[in-house]
Structure 1
């Protein structure tokens, strides 16, 4: 084996950016910087970029689940939002964070650490509970599969019924194995997380300003952005809640 050419963090960032790239993402052949970062706050579906139909070059994002047939079944509304509005919000937020971190490093580190604990506690507790339940069910399925095999061998369970139950249990077992692997990866990721206030500050200090956000900058700082529906659907003059989750 050879020593790695780049560090793991740089490699992971490159993979994240590559996975988010879509060809001709906004209808003009231009890269959409927020692709892969925006999600619907109600259904969890990805939000995809498109251009408006009024002839103006305005990039907007809408929930991908809304348009799936029958329209409005998986998600009741589009959650439409302008790309410029999200980029402005992210820029303003990062600018405020940078100013805060430079004015009082000690307090900023303390605030970030408290935020980390709060976010991880809520999310990881939910995943741990689901992991325990999935593992318990997987154990139950193994016993059930053994039981129906034994009952079939002893003539207590007809072949047709045995085959139906065996297929049903096997299908559930396969789905659980995938889910358990994903949950274990998530739990391990939290427990071995290298995210820290110090690393986030170093990233903040890396850039002089946040007036123009590049694709690399967005993926370095942002984990995901949740978009809620407007307070008054269809209205341009209304509020819309946006949740930004940073990589720390």
Structure 2
């Protein structure tokens, strides 16, 4: 079948916050591979989630489109992007430093 999918462990159901499982099989073509809500698939808990899924192919297209948007923004607004990243990096650094000082 192959290894672990690139999105494994990163996707969660928007409705119940359960992990999404990657579904592929020997009879499925790659265009039919999809991610399904684990609560629906395994009937977990008292409340079963709804039968919704997202095809891996569609997810790849969405992510590629978002990457294109970000790279376009970076090229068009380089200075603003650099400032944004510097601010974010500084904020993360200060948070980590404060967390270490507390412990």
Normalization by structure 2: what TM-score? 0.67
The correspondence for 1:82, drawn from 41, 55, 59, is: 55
For the residue of structure 1 that corresponds to 2:12, the secondary structure is strand
Structure number with higher relative contact order (C-alpha < 8 Å, ≥ 6 residues apart): 1
Residue number in structure 1 paired with 2:77:
104
Structure 2: which 5+ runs fail to align? Answer: 98-103
Q: Which runs of 5+ in 1 are unaligned?
A: 1-27, 117-188, 195-248
The structural deviation recorded for 1:62 is: 0.4
Aligned position for 1:38: 11
Number of equivalenced pairs: 93
1:62 paired residue among 23, 26, 36 = 36
The 1:33/1:70 distance shift into structure 2, 3 A limit, reads closer
Query: For 1:129-181, what per-residue CA distance to the aligned partner results, in whole angstroms no more than 9, with x for missing partners?
Result: xxxxxxxxxxxxxxxxxxxxxxxxxxxxxxxxxxxxxxxxxxxxxxxxxxxxx
What SS class does the counterpart of residue 67 from structure 1 fall into?
helix
Q: Distance in 1 between matches of 2:74 and 2:20?
A: 31
Residues 103 and 34 from structure 1, CA distance in 2 versus in 1: closer, same or farther, beyond 3 angstroms? same
Aligned partners of 1:66 and 1:72 also within 8 Å: no
Largest Rg, 1 or 2: 1
Matches within 5 A, 1:200-219: none
Q: CA deviation at 1:34?
A: 0.7
